[in-house]
Chain A
Amino acid sequence: AQSVAQPEDQVNVAEGNPLTVKCTYSVSGNPYLFWYVQYPNRGLQFLLKYITGDNLVKGSYGFEAEFNKSQTSFHLKKPSALVSDSALYFCAVRDGLGDMRFGAGTRLTVKP
């Protein structure tokens, strides 16, 4: 069965600095990988996904993620963090045969 790990519960960065939120996955087949963001008392909002093709995926709000098959990783990145990026971020994986599996989430705090 597929699984996702987000090794950091919390990530703190200063505004204007680059940010990285880490995600590693395990699937038996080809992965479909997703990043979502959740603001307080809201549902999850889709940021970006990797299905196939270019390993660097660009998404909403200036976020991007790099698919690395050899390291089974799909880290979320942004070149310059904003205070408004502070939220809970979820990585998710699916292999086409099973359920979507979510990581436990990483809380990103961007300090002014």
Chain B
Amino acid sequence: DAGITQSPRHKVTETGTPVTLRCHQTENHRYMYWYRQDPGHGLRLIHYSYGVKDTDKGEVSDGYSVSRSKTEDFLLTLESATSSQTSVYFCAISDLGAGDTQYFGPGTRLTVL
């Protein structure tokens, strides 16, 4: 999976609790992305980062925040988890710009009860 790890791989939590997912890369790529995958929707971009401390919103950013303090780590935080955030979350990385291939991590399955 292209030098990308995600932790945890599975998590069950309760509504209203904060949750942080971690993406770690060993490829020294500039861009990092967080997606969620839901049946019938494919993958949808939550947030992305184009450098340390540089982040921007994606298509479905409400209820999520991100941070990138080091090139290799990109954190996704659900401040107060809701059942609608039950999903599989994927991190991706790429090195250049729009035409560059994104490589995906193994995913985190999050269940919010």
Residues of A within 8 A of B (CB): 4, 32, 34, 36, 41-46, 49, 51, 90, 92, 94-97, 99-105
A43–B43 CB distance below 8 A: no
Given A90-B42, A102-B44, A105-B42, residue A42 in contact with residue B97 (CB < 8 A): no
B99–A32 CB distance below 8 A: yes
Given A94-B98, A99-B58, A99-B59, residue A46 in contact with residue B42 (CB < 8 A): no
Question: Which of these, A46, A90, A103, contacts B101 with CB under 8 Å?
Answer: A46
Question: Which of these, A41, A95, A102, contacts B43 with CB under 8 Å?
Answer: A102
Interface size on B, residues (CB 8 A): 24
In the complex, B70 has a CB within 8 A of chain A: no
A100–B45 CB distance below 8 A: yes
What are some 21 contacts across the A-B interface (CB < 8 A)? A32-B99, A41-B107, A43-B1, A43-B105, A43-B106, A43-B107, A44-B90, A46-B102, A90-B42, A90-B43, A96-B97, A96-B99, A97-B98, A99-B59, A100-B45, A100-B102, A102-B42, A102-B43, A104-B41, A104-B42, A105-B42
CB-nearest residue of chain B to A96: B98
A42 contacts across to B, CB distance below 8 A: 106-107
A51–B106 CB distance below 8 A: no
For the complex, give the distance between the alpha carbons of A36 and B2 in Å: 14
Residues of B within 8 A of A (CB): 1, 4, 33, 40-45, 48, 58-59, 90, 92, 97-99, 101-107
For the complex, give the distance between the alpha carbons of A87 and B34 in Å: 22
B101–A49 CB distance below 8 A: yes
- Give chain B nearest CB distance to A70 CB in angstroms: 22
For the complex, give the distance between the alpha carbons of A67 and B34 in Å: 28
Question: Which of these, A94, A95, A103, contacts B42 with CB under 8 Å?
Answer: A103
Q: Which of B41, B43, B92, B101 has the most CB of A within 10 A?
A: B43
For the complex, give the distance between the alpha carbons of A94 and B107 in Å: 22
For the complex, give the distance between the alpha carbons of A90 and B44 in Å: 12
A43–B42 CB distance below 8 A: no
A4 contacts across to B, CB distance below 8 A: 42
Q: Which of A34, A92, A104 has the most CB of B within 10 A?
A: A104
